[in-house]
A and B are shown apart, each in its own frame.
Chain A
Amino acid sequence: MSEVTATASNDRGFFGEGNYPGIFGWIFSTDHKRIGLLYFWSVTIFFCVGVLLGLLLRLELFAPGETIMSAQSYNATFTLHGVIMIFLFIIPGIPAAFGNMIMPIQIGARDVSFPKLNLFSWYLYITGAVLAVTSLFTGGGPPDTGWTFYVPFSAQTSTNVSLAAIAVFILGFSSILTGLNFVTTIHRLRTKGMTWMRIPLFTWSLYATAWIQILATPVIGITVALLFAERVLGTGLFDPSQGGDPIMFQHLFWIYSHPAVYIMVLPGMGVISDIIPVFSRKPAFGYKAIVVSSIAIAFAGSLVWAHHMYTSGMSDMAVMIFSFLTFIVAIPSAIKVFNWLATMYQGSILLDPPLLYALSFILLFTIGGLTGLVLGAAAADVHVHDTYFVVGHFHFVMFGGTGMAFFAAMHYWLPKIYGRMYDKTVATVAWGVIMIGFLILYISMKVVGMQGMPRRYYDYVPEFTGLNQLATVGSWILAVGLILMFVNIFRGIFKGDPVEANPWGGACLEWQIPSPPPTENFGEEDPVVTHGPYDFKKAGIL
Chain B
Amino acid sequence: MNPQPLITTTEAVDKAFYVIFGISGIALLGITVAMVYLVWRYNRKREPVPLSQKDHNAWLEATWIIIPTILVGIMFWYGWEGYLSLRRIPDNAIPIQGSSRMWSWLFTYENGKTSDKLYVPVGQPVKVLLTSEDVLHSFYVPAFRVKRDCVPGMENYVWFVAEQPGSYDLFCAEYCGVAHSSMITTVEAIPATEFAAWLKAQPATADAGKELLQKHGCLGCHSLNGSPMVGPSFQGIGGRQVIVVSGGESRTLTSDRTYLEKSIVDPGADIVEGYPPAMPPYAGRIPEEELAGMLDYLTGLNAKEQSAEVTGDNAVSEAVKATEEKESGQSGQPAEATEPVNHASPGEDLAGKNGCLGCHSTDGSRRVGPSFKGLMGSERTVVKDGHEVTVTADADYLIRAIRDPGAEIAKDYPPAMPPYPGLSDEDIKALQAWLETLE
Contacts and interface: CB of A to CB of B under 8 A. Distances in A.
A440 to B, nearest CB: 17
Contacts of A386: 138, 140, 147, 173-175
Nearest to B171: A454
A103 B182 CA distance: 50
Contacts of A462: 414-416
Interface stretch (B52-60, B118-126, B302-310, B386-394): B52-60
A188 to B, nearest CB: 28
A325 B209 CA distance: 53
Nearest to B79: A377
A11 interface: no
Interface string B35-59: 1001100111001111111111100
Nearest to A158: B277
A383 B21 CA distance: 14
B151 A156 contact: no
B178 A75 contact: yes
A283 B78 contact: no
Contact of B68 (A158, A289, A311, A331): A331
A381 interface: yes
Interface string A146-160: 100010110011110
A294 interface: no
A331 B148 contact: no
Contact of A319 (B75, B83, B415): B83
Interface stretch (B23-31, B342-350, B355-363): B23-31
Interface in A231-269: 239-241, 245-247
Contacts of B69: 331
B152 A246 contact: yes
Contacts of B34: 341
Interface string A129-166: 00000000000100011100010110011110000000
Interface residues of A, number: 95
A246 B153 contact: yes
A89 interface: no
A542 interface: yes
Contact of A342 (B12, B60, B151): B60
A344 B156 CA distance: 51
B143 to A, nearest CB: 8
Given A328-B72, A382-B145, A461 B50 contact: no
B85 interface: yes
A380 interface: yes
Interface in B356-399: none
Given A289-B61, A312-B149, A451-B142, A153 B135 contact: yes
Contacts of A463: 414, 416
Contacts of A289: 56, 61
B332 interface: no
A316 interface: yes
A346 B181 contact: no
Interface in B150-183: 151-154, 156, 169, 171-182
Nearest to B73: A327
B263 to A, nearest CB: 14
B20 A373 contact: yes
A459 interface: yes
B13 A349 contact: no
A416 to B, nearest CB: 21
Given A283-B55, A286-B61, A348 B49 contact: yes
A177 B230 CA distance: 44
Contacts of B169: 452, 461
A370 interface: yes
B136 interface: yes
Interface string B58-78: 001100110011001101101
A319 B86 CA distance: 13
A169 interface: no
Nearest to A532: B55
B134 interface: yes
A411 interface: no
A363 B79 contact: no
Interface in B175-234: 175-182, 184, 230
A514 B357 CA distance: 77
A452 B60 CA distance: 41
Given A146-B175, A463-B414, A371 B82 contact: no
B14 to A, nearest CB: 9
A359 interface: yes
A240 B152 contact: yes
B50 to A, nearest CB: 5
A374 B174 contact: no
A228 B68 CA distance: 43
B268 interface: yes
Contacts of A247: 151, 154
A457 B78 contact: no
A310 B177 CA distance: 22
A350 B44 contact: yes
A383 B86 CA distance: 11
A383 B145 CA distance: 5
A338 B30 CA distance: 11
A450 to B, nearest CB: 8
B325 interface: no
A316 B87 contact: yes
Contacts of B129: none
A81 interface: no
Contact of A327 (B76, B86, B280): B76
A345 B41 CA distance: 9
B179 A362 contact: no
A284 B54 CA distance: 9
B28 A366 contact: yes
B259 interface: no
B436 interface: no
Given A71-B181, A158-B277, A379 B28 contact: no
A240 B53 CA distance: 62
A320 interface: yes
B278 interface: yes
B246 interface: no
A358 to B, nearest CB: 11
B32 A363 contact: yes
A431 interface: no
Given A71-B179, A313-B149, A378 B79 contact: yes
A320 B80 CA distance: 7
A357 to B, nearest CB: 14
A290 B145 CA distance: 38
B194 to A, nearest CB: 25
Given A153-B136, A316-B83, A337-B31, A286 B55 contact: yes
Contacts of A454: 140, 171-173, 181
A381 B414 contact: no
Interface string A347-374: 1111100000001001100110011011
Interface string A54-88: 00000000000000001110010000000000000
Interface string B415-436: 1100000000000000000000
A282 B72 contact: no
B329 interface: no
B64 A348 contact: no
Contacts of A156: 134-135, 280
Contacts of B149: 311-313
A116 interface: no
A377 B16 contact: yes
B134 to A, nearest CB: 7
A348 B55 contact: no
A98 interface: no
A140 B248 CA distance: 10
B20 A374 contact: yes
Given A153-B177, A335-B65, A454-B173, A542 B50 contact: yes
9 contacts: A144-B178, A313-B156, A342-B57, A344-B35, A348-B42, A366-B31, A382-B146, A452-B171, A458-B180
User: 4 closest Cβ contacts across the A-B interface?
Assistant: A240-B153, A377-B79, A452-B142, A379-B82
